[in-house]
Structure 1
Amino acid sequence: MCNIFASQDPATYACETRAIRLHGHGTSLRLEAGFWRILERIAAAEGVPLARFLATLHDEVLARRGEIGNFASLLRVTCLHWLENQDRHAAELAARVRVAA
């Protein structure tokens, strides 16, 4: 039943720690490799480097909510949301491009 999941390469769920800068402060984030790959795909779709995407997301959530309880968890759920809503994301991105043009 779970062969497709059980047979995945352990490297996809190995944790990776990456250093990032948020508001000029250095910090590190620890996520599974698969999440880092999805975040890189999201950033590429947005046309920005991963570091800029992460900083922008962080700033926008702070502006809306006033705090971020667990940024790593937010990033994991962001990946899931993007995977489940790629059509919506593409439409919003296209709308932004039209407005900028």
Structure 2
Amino acid sequence: MCHVYASTDPQRYDSTTRSVRLQGCVTSVRLENEFWEILDGLAAGQGMSAGQFISKLYGEVIADKGDVPNLASMLRVACAVHLHIRNATAATDQGRQLA
């Protein structure tokens, strides 16, 4: 099983830095390309650019929690939560098909 992970294309875990505007201030975020791909997909699904999606997510977290101590970590966790929800939905759908 480790071979599946060990054989991953290094491009997927190379990092890329992008600039985003958060509440009127430009900042840069460095994430692995795999996370950028997930964020690009989430944003496209809502008719937004990744920058717009991140800005909206950031604003919602600030409104709810008051602070984002580590933006990159918050984005990675948001991607992980998205994947967990997607997998749970797929498992539920598969269970319904088998019933």
TM-score (normalizing by structure 1): 0.82
Is 1:16 the counterpart of 2:25 in the alignment?
no
State the partner residue of 2:95: none
Structure-2 separation of matches of 1:52 and 1:82? 17
Structure-2 separation of matches of 1:48 and 1:34? 18
State the partner residue of 1:32: 32
What amino acid does structure 2 have at the position aligned with 1:58?
A: Y
Report the secondary structure of 1:69's partner residue: coil
The alpha carbon displacement at 1:88 in A equals: 8.0
- Aligned CA RMSD, in angstroms, stands at 1.6
Is 1:70 the counterpart of 2:75 in the alignment?
no
Q: Which runs of 5+ in 2 are unaligned?
A: 90-99
Report the secondary structure of 2:28's partner residue: strand
Q: Quick one: structure 1 residues 53 and 9, their matched pair in 2 at CA, closer, same or farther if it must change by over 3 Å?
A: same
State the partner residue of 2:92: none
State the partner residue of 1:46: 46
Point out the structure with max Rg over C-alpha: 2
Structure-2 separation of matches of 1:15 and 1:77? 16
The alpha carbon displacement at 1:86 in A equals: 2.4
Structure-1 separation of matches of 2:58 and 2:18? 16
Report the secondary structure of 2:53's partner residue: helix
Structure-2 separation of matches of 1:15 and 1:49? 19
Q: Deviations over 1:36-66 (max 9, x none)?
A: 0000011111221111110000000000011
What is the identity percentage for the equivalent residue pairs of Structure 1 and Structure 2? Answer: 43
